[in-house]
């Protein structure tokens, strides 16, 4: 038997629906030593070292988790994210190259105040975390642009999760 929970959008007098993300915090799953999770919210990750990515503020950054149902009983969420950083420099190239070997855990800080965490899933009991279905990876690109454009570094985030998760870990905590 399944339990259905209604969503009544009309109960929100003025929903905060502005989209987009304003920053990302990324870390390596292998560094996590403990986690605190309740339902679909993660309140703490111990051991992880966060790196904060502040990308161009031009309303192009996003982090989506698109639901897929490959069979009747399987539901997964495919992550698709994008960020760009104007001007190609050796320091930016080096920073992104280091991300290639990690199974990324990340927090997408949304402009509406809801922070979403990815790269982890709850275990079957729901009391610990495990690595997501398909580890989240960063794929960087360097773009010259045209004479009318700007040169830039871009990266995309891809991976697959079993669950959509939020987090109470806030931007000030990871950016300290």
User: CA dist 142 to 86, 92, 96, 97, Å?
Assistant: 10, 10, 10, 12
167 backbone dihedrals φ, ψ, rounded to 5°: -145, 150
Please answer whether residues 27 and 43 qualify as being in contact, where contact means their C-beta atoms are separated by less than 8 angstroms.
no
The pLDDT tens digits of the residues spanning 26-42 come to 999 999 999 999 989 99
Cβ atoms < 10 Å from Cβ of 92:
17
**Strand residues in 29-133 grouped as ranges (E):** 34-38, 41-46, 51-53, 62-71, 74-86, 104-110, 115-118, 120-122, 129-131
Give 149-164 pLDDT, tens digit per residue. 899 999 999 999 999 9
Give the 3-state secondary structure of residue 71.
strand
The fraction of the chain above a pLDDT of 90, given in percent, is 73
- In the predicted structure, residue 176 carries a pLDDT above the cut 90: no
Do residues 8 and 131 lie in contact, with contact meaning Cβ atoms separated by under 8 Å?
no
Would you place residue 145 in the very low, low, confident or very high pLDDT band (cuts 50, 70, 90)? confident
DSSP string for residues in 123-159: -TTSSSEEE-SEEEEEEEEEE---TTS--EEEEEEEE
Contacts of 6 (CB under 8 A, 6+ apart): none
For residues 58 and 36, what is the distance between their CA atoms, to the nearest angstrom?
Answer: 34
3-state secondary structure of 28: strand
* Domain range annotation of the chain: 20-174
Segment holding 156, helix H or strand E: strand 152-161
What is the per-residue pLDDT for 7?
79
Task: Look up the pTM and report it.
Answer: 0.90
Pairing label, strands 104-110, 21-28: antiparallel
Work out the average pLDDT over 55-75: 94
pLDDT-derived band at 11, boundaries 50, 70, 90: confident
């Amino acid at each position: 038997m399944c339990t259905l929970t209604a969503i009544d959008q009309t109960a929100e007098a003025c929903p905060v629906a502005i989209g987009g993300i304003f920053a990302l915090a990324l870390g390596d799953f292998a560094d996590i030593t403990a986690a605190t999770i309740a339902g679909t919210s993660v309140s703490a990750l111990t051991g992880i070292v966060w790196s904060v990515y502040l990308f161009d503020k031009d309303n192009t950054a996003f982090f989506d988790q698109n639901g897929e149902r490959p069979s009747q009983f399987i539901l997964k969420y495919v992550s698709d994210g994008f960020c760009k950083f104007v001007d190609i420099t050796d320091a930016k190239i080096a920073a992104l190259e280091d991300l290639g070997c990690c199974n990324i855990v990340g927090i997408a800080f949304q402009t509406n105040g809801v922070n979403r965490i990815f790269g982890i899933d709850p275990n079957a009991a729901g009391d610990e975390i495990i690595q997501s279905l398909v580890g989240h990876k960063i794929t960087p690109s360097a773009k010259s642009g045209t004479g009318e454009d700007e040169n830039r570094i871009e990266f995309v985030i891809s991976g697959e999760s079993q669950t959509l998760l939020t987090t109470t870990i806030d931007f000030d905590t990871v950016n300290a």
